[in-house]
């Protein structure tokens, strides 16, 4: 699975190769976020590794690259949380040996030392939330909106910078949906939300006092 395509402000394409394992390691070329220069389309370059399912990504106004992570392999006997990650070039997010807040997946050979050297997530979502889309909020510079397929919710994540990474606080923003799938910010600062289960598209605006 290659997830969604995202165009960067520089005109490159982003895509991911969802995590396939060989034993306790990622299969060659898997679990990776890539960028492709359209002038050199047969030579994709890795941006980050150790990602189970970086299904969707976005670049915010500060040129920060964000990706969500769908973690569906059982770790230590339970489903792992899903993640929001701030990507830096060369970052290793630790999959499959690590999950959540740099925790070790013992069933995949993870160790505390290995996971402390992985890049920490910015925020965690409940296990099986299944984030399928992420965009920068058009109303708040340090807020992201995330579609959570199985939670029937669009969440907002308020971001605080922390060194070369960040922390995030997750709150519900739009509830009562049925499998929200994709988010799109329009030029008029509204957000479209596609709802898979009903084939409906909603347009969301925010009142400014």
Specify the pLDDT at position 19.
Answer: 82
pLDDT tens, N- to C-terminus, the chain (209 residues): 777 899 999 999 999 998 889 999 999 989 999 999 999 999 999 999 999 989 899 999 999 999 999 988 899 999 999 999 999 999 999 999 999 999 999 999 999 999 999 999 999 999 999 999 999 999 999 999 999 999 999 999 999 999 999 999 999 999 999 999 999 999 999 999 999 999 999 999 987 54
Q: Which residues pair with 68 in a beta bridge?
A: 84
The count of other CB atoms within 10 Å of the CB of residue 187 is 6
Angstrom CA distances, 163 to 82, 86, 93, 160, stand at 23, 12, 17, 10
Pairwise CA distance, residues 53 & 150, whole Å = 16
Angstrom distances, CA of residue 199 to CA of 32, 129, 132, 186 = 31, 20, 16, 19
Q: What is the pLDDT of residue 94?
A: 96
Query: Given the DSSP bridges, would you call strands 180-185 and 191-195 parallel, antiparallel or unpaired?
Result: antiparallel
* Distance between first and last Cα of the chain: 43
In contact, 118 and 100? CB cutoff 8 Å: no
What is d(CA 28, CA 172) in angstroms, rounded to the nearest whole number? 37
Give pTM, 2 decimals: 0.94
pLDDT of residue 208: 56
Strands (E), the chain: 6-7, 13-17, 21-22, 25-26, 32-36, 45-49, 57-59, 65-69, 82-87, 91-92, 98-99, 103-104, 123-125, 131-136, 143-148, 153-162, 165-174, 180-185, 191-195, 200-204
Q: Is 40 helix (H, G, I), strand (E, B) or coil?
A: coil
Beta partners for 84?
68, 123
At 49, give phi and psi (nearest 5°): -130, 180
Task: Indicate the SS3 state at residue 57.
Answer: strand
Please list the residues that pair with 101 across neighbouring strands.
Answer: none
- Residue 5: its pLDDT value, please? 92
Q: At residue 50, what are phi and psi to the nearest 5 degrees?
A: 75, 30
Q: Output DSSP code: residue 75.
A: B
């Amino acid at each position: 699975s290659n997830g969604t395509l995202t165009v960067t402000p520089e005109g490159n394409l982003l895509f991911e190769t969802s995590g396939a394992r060989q034993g306790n390691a990622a299969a060659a070329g898997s679990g990776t976020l890539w960028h492709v220069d359209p002038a050199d389309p047969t030579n994709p370059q890795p941006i980050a590794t150790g990602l189970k399912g970086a299904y969707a990504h976005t670049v915010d106004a500060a040129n920060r690259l964000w990706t969500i992570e769908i973690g569906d392999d059982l770790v230590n006997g339970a489903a792992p949380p899903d993640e929001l990650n701030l990507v830096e070039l060369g970052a290793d997010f630790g999959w499959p040996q690590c999950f959540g807040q740099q925790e070790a997946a013992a069933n995949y050979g993870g160790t505390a030392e290995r996971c402390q050297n992985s890049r920490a997530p910015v925020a965690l979502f409940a296990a099986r939330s299944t984030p399928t889309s992420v965009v920068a909020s058009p109303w708040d510079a340090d807020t992201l909106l995330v579609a959570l397929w199985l939670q029937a919710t669009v969440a907002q994540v308020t971001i605080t910078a922390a060194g070369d990474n960040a922390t995030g606080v997750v709150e519900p923003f739009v509830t009562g949906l049925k499998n929200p799938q994709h988010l799109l910010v329009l030029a008029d600062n509204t957000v479209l939300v596609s709802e898979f289960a009903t084939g409906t598209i909603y347009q969301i605006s925010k009142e400014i006092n």
